[in-house]
Structure 1
């Protein structure tokens, strides 16, 4: 079939590969080009070991404390408070115990597909060198917090996630750059990270062109159901396709809404500072409990980032948040370079309140499929999502139940 994929980020490009591998004629459209959004600036973790949605009672308990600090792990820009209220209401609803349990079950089902899908895709394309399998650390500066978290680690083990608990000495043997503030950690040996998210996305793009996938730089203004489907382009013009895959990340919402699918997609604005050429300080990714940031040893340099700011797509970045992340990092990591030597970035995580992406067919036509809203797990879940999309287009039963990912679940 003639298939158009809207979006040249990780999810869109992985989908293009999965469809081209089945013999389809694939064209990718993007308003900027490959790796222009969150796919270039994410933390670089293949975090398939995570099993908890963002929406959870634990997160809700922390919200009041977070919001008292405008530069803390979670902030809402004052001018965006009213627009984000419906999304926050759904977040609270998704945190109810029965809703949370269903979300965990669905999230785990998708996370279990993530690494096998990435292993298969990277192996087929000769890109296995771009994935480092050194595990990941979740570290604590509070012994009581670590003790309370042991129940959660046991829950992860029950879902098949390998997890080793380390004391302070063992942590620093593994990562000598961690300061004496760190008292314990959980080590996830099956976690992985990539050489650099931009490099991975560009490699997927280049490999797609080599296998015959075409690319057109164009912004999409509308999708019109029909046989074939018509795609209107900003500035005039259009193209047609037998099937369309909408994988435009944070910019997917209005296109889906015009097709009758009102999806509560908003953005979690993430910040980071990267230090090009600073390698060897850490061996593996480290997440810092309760601090809202992570540190990743990319091949291109050390990246420190994280936090959540709810502020939509239009407001300018507030890099005072990035400086605050760096200030925290100096308390936990030795020998960090000066902040001003780093490169700043802010990007938009396309997030759904229940922390589950939208994967499924449009209400308007089965010939338009959605693959967006992956939040913090776009890199992790991209290859698995692509396989699910390919199965739906081929008429095969997907590997997991997609009811919890349906665009119509809202």
Structure 2
């Protein structure tokens, strides 16, 4: 138990402040997939039993992982149609598309073998490899050294969530806006634990992995994913609604079905305790609803409910909105501290409580919108 708490505490100290730069912004040279694909590196057709790593990671990625086809998606007729509607020359050269469909680092950080057409490739997630490519194969060098050289900590749940959500939800630098979705881009939905499980694994969760890297069960992974998704949602609200000076708000932040339903479909319902009036355009707050569930198991639900209500009712008051966002972020931090101090038995009970809360809220119709469901 002490070891578990030490690991969690270390995780919060190292990554809780989200200090690690995302790979796209790490200002490291990205060498390209070719630098990883040799058969003696990560390109072995079959996994190797004499190594701590499988060494077939490139093969798994190229054959089974949808990320390897992210750039190719931009060449389809559907993508060409979206680009045309957005007034773009083409999707495969537009940064607004490449930022999430490739490893779109600045030209000065692209190595000799780098190809933008590799899609969401090794260094898109693991960080530019120029500084750690030699040391990361040396078993006598501690992993922390490689992390300091630019290796991104995809093993820990919060850093992984921040990375995935930067495209699967968006951040202040890149976002699937209402314009993009209006042009035909699919809606975005993401949940860390489910997506992690569904990805074709190119690692083994063995004793060596658990000894040297961050490891957590599905409940903890889900919680950290929801906490980070809530942070990302609040960041988008702040950058698009509070800091926005345009006349029209960014509509992707709101519940689609507030507007996208026939006028004859009178399905408006008042969210309990939030005091919405008919015709109110509600925030796209699915992750924040999950945050309420997590807050309940951590004993933080009353204060969070107050701040969420204040935020929802303060969409016309930027100062109230800004204050609410700050307060909700503080609640998220306090929830993380509670989680870090929980023993395995307490966490097990918290997981059961969370599941019961979700089922109860679902039975009451509180997950009727797409993103929460």
With normalisation by structure 2, the TM-score equals 0.24
With normalisation by structure 1, the TM-score equals 0.23
Instruction: Select the structure with the greater relative contact order (CA < 8 A; seq sep ≥ 6).
Output: 1
Greater per-residue helix proportion? 2
Greater per-residue strand proportion? 1
